[in-house]
Structure 1
Amino acid sequence: MPRNVLLVIDMLKDFIEPDGALYCGEKAKEIVPFVVEKVREFMAKDEPVIFIMDAHDPEDLEFNRFPVHCVYGSPGAQLIDELAELVAEYPFAIKVPKTRFSGFFRTGLKKILEDLEPETVHVVGVCTNICVLYTVEELRNRDYRTIVHTRGVTSFDPEAHRWALRQMETVLGAEMA
């Protein structure tokens, strides 16, 4: 079984590209090189990379709170090109579509992690105070050792980003790297 698993959360065109429906800002583009580097590191060791990917129904109730984004099958719901091209042939790239903030809500992530039995789950992606936070919360409630790579996470809201990092470290017990 792998010692490590990398979760890449919502590195999708609608969040990362400037013309995306819910663009997370210039900070989102700035983390791309680090995220790519981290994915390459895991690939070099033949360790799993799990892509947690927003994939909404066009009538999703989330659109009452947020603009329409990452509609299943749309270009905006696709991985950014830098990652899609990198993992196109990688046999240990796993894609997990989600419809809510947590990567666990009505997805197969729980079973995937149970099958993989990782010692440590590493986390990168967007947005720190939304999907990253709620996925890390569930990882920690399942007692996974969790490392959040601070150079590989960001948010459109710098204050909420800092607050979420503190919550994950001091309340949830995730390690910051």
Structure 2
Amino acid sequence: MGGKALIVVDMLNDFVVEGGALYVGEAGRRVIPVIARALEKARSHKIPVIYICDRHLPGDREFEMFPTHCVAGTWGGEVCAELAPREGDVIIPKRRYSGFYGTDLDLALRELGAEDLVLVGVCTNICVLYTAADARMRNYKVSVLKDGVASFDEKAHEFALREMEKTLGVQLLLVDEWEAGNADSCC
């Protein structure tokens, strides 16, 4: 064990393309090139890439809180074109905030021998935070590329970054730090 994995959280059309049902806004668009760089780094170093994707059923209970979004089989539930998965990438559908809740993520990571995870995506204070928390509860080492995550709420974004770092022990990095080789030693 001890391997690494890059986890891309909810970079889906409904969140990061203008006109999407829960468009995060420009913050979501700004992280796309950062995530593209992280994907390039991971793939060039043979680090597995896992996409965690909201895939709701029509009438999902989450729609009592948020507008209908990322319904399975719709444009809104697809990964944005700029970050499209490639052959060999793993796609894990989810119906709740955490990428671990009710999914095969833990099994996939264990089969890949991954213990060091780096997270990118949206929303920092929702799906990224709860995926990071559940990863830490399972004793994974977790890093977040802080310039590769975004939210529709800047204060909640900042709170989530502090919470992940101070409470969960998540390492916060910039993509430049990860590209410069820290990925080899930390995540």
Which range, TM-score by smaller chain? over 0.9
Match of 1:51 in 2: 51
Match of 1:38 in 2: 38
Residue among 158, 163, 170 paired with 2:159: 163
Letter in 2 for 1:131: C
Pairs aligned (count): 173
Cα distance in 1, alignment partners of residues 151 and 144 from structure 2: 14
Deviation string for 1:84-132 (max 9, x for gaps)?
A: 1xx33x32x0000000000011110011111122241000000000000
Cα distance in 2, alignment partners of residues 111 and 4 from structure 1: 14
Contact 2:2 2:116 in 1 (8 A): no
Cα distance in 2, alignment partners of residues 2 and 40 from structure 1: 21
Match of 2:147 in 1: 151
Match of 2:180 in 1: none
Q: Percent identity?
A: 44
Cα distance in 2, alignment partners of residues 71 and 114 from structure 1: 28
Matches within 5 A, 1:56-135: 56-84=56-84, 87-88=85-86, 90-91=87-88, 93-135=89-131
TM-score by length of structure 2 reads 0.90
Cα distance in 1, alignment partners of residues 83 and 151 from structure 2: 19
Cα distance in 2, alignment partners of residues 69 and 2 from structure 1: 36
1:174 and 2:170 aligned? yes
Q: CA deviation at 1:159?
A: 0.2
Q: CA deviation at 1:83?
A: 1.2
Contact 1:2 1:48 in 2 (8 A): no
Runs of 4+ in 1 over 6 A off after TM superposition: none
Q: CA deviation at 1:3?
A: 2.4
Deviation string for 1:117-170 (max 9, x for gaps)?
A: 224100000000000000000011111111100000010000000000000000
Letter in 2 for 1:125: G
Q: CA deviation at 1:2?
A: 7.0
Cα distance in 1, alignment partners of residues 102 and 140 from structure 2: 19
Helix, strand or coil at the partner of 1:66: coil
Cα distance in 2, alignment partners of residues 114 and 45 from structure 1: 19
CA RMSD of aligned residues (A): 1.0
Cα distance in 1, alignment partners of residues 160 and 130 from structure 2: 10
Contact 1:2 1:116 in 2 (8 A): no
